[in-house]
Chain A
Amino acid sequence: AQRVTQPEKLLSVFKGAPVELKCNYSYSGSPELFWYVQYSRQRLQLLLRHISRESIKGFTADLNKGETSFHLKKPFAQEEDSAMYYCALGGSQGNLIFGKGTKLSVKP
């Protein structure tokens, strides 16, 4: 079965603290994983993809095939990082399979 699990509905941290949003997946084969973000009153947009191994807005995510995880990390959270974050898996039919999302709240 193809599935994405985000165990935390809400994650609340203080500004400057490290943040880690968890994502685990189930997929038989070589997965392609993504993080999408939805800021308040903005469209859902791609944040980063695992194959690029990039850092966007200070966020990174490493694919761990042994643990079937793709956690999103940032060493120092900013208030503008507050948003809804979705982990997504590329499905076998060319579609995206989304997790249920984690709401990140960064307090001043």
Chain B
Amino acid sequence: DGGITQSPKYLFRKEGQNVTLSCEQNLNHDAMYWYRQDPGQGLRLIYYSQIVNDFQKGDIAEGYSVSREKKESFPLTVTSAQKNPTAFYLCASRSPDRGPYEQYFGPGTRLTVT
């Protein structure tokens, strides 16, 4: 374990507030990903970044924003425009040495918006 950290583990916010979820990795991985995990829905890709200062929208990017100013960090902001933000959020990174699809996951952040 270790290598990818997400903080905090649990996060509570009031509706209408933006909130930023942290994801840090010390694995020297170029690619990083954000997924949303809902019961019965599996994992759905929000945003991903293949390299610093570049990122791409995933399948459910609406209401979210990201930045990638440093290789180690890929924070996700859940904006007030996200209609159903309560979910479990997973960050992942990928080693260039292990093929394009083997991803390493963080422990996750459970966000509750009331």
- In the complex, whether A11 has a CB less than 8 A from a CB of chain B is no
Asked if residues B42 and A99 are in contact (CB atoms below 8 Å), the reply is yes
Bound: A43/B37 CA distance, A: 12
Asked, given contacts A43-B1, A100-B41, whether A94 binds B50 with beta carbons under 8 Å apart, the answer is: yes
Asked if residues B100 and A94 are in contact (CB atoms below 8 Å), the reply is yes
Bound: A9/B39 CA distance, A: 10
Residue of A6, A34, A90, A94 touching B31 (CB-CB under 8 A): A94
Within 8 A of A (CB), among B2-52: 31, 33, 35, 40-45, 48, 50
Asked if residues B90 and A44 are in contact (CB atoms below 8 Å), the reply is yes
Asked, given contacts A43-B105, A45-B105, A46-B102, whether A95 binds B42 with beta carbons under 8 Å apart, the answer is: no
- The range of chain A's interface size is 20 to 34
Interface flags, B85-104, vs A, CB<8A=1, else 0: 00000101000000111110
Expressed in whole angstroms, the minimum distance between the Cβ of A61 and any Cβ of chain B is: 15
Asked if residues B103 and A100 are in contact (CB atoms below 8 Å), the reply is no
Q: Which residues of A contact B45 (CB under 8 A)?
A: 95-97
- In the complex, whether A70 has a CB less than 8 A from a CB of chain B is no
Q: Which residues of B contact A96 (CB under 8 A)?
A: 33, 43, 45, 101, 103
- In the complex, whether B63 has a CB less than 8 A from a CB of chain A is no
Q: Which residues of B contact A100 (CB under 8 A)?
A: 40-42
Residue of B42, B50, B58, B99 touching A101 (CB-CB under 8 A): B42
Asked if residues B31 and A43 are in contact (CB atoms below 8 Å), the reply is no
Q: Which residues of A contact B108 (CB under 8 A)?
A: 43
- In the complex, whether B75 has a CB less than 8 A from a CB of chain A is no
Expressed in whole angstroms, the minimum distance between the Cβ of B103 and any Cβ of chain A is: 6
- What residues of chain A have their CB less than 8 Å away from a CB belonging to chain B? 6, 9, 32, 34, 43-46, 49, 86, 88, 90, 93-101
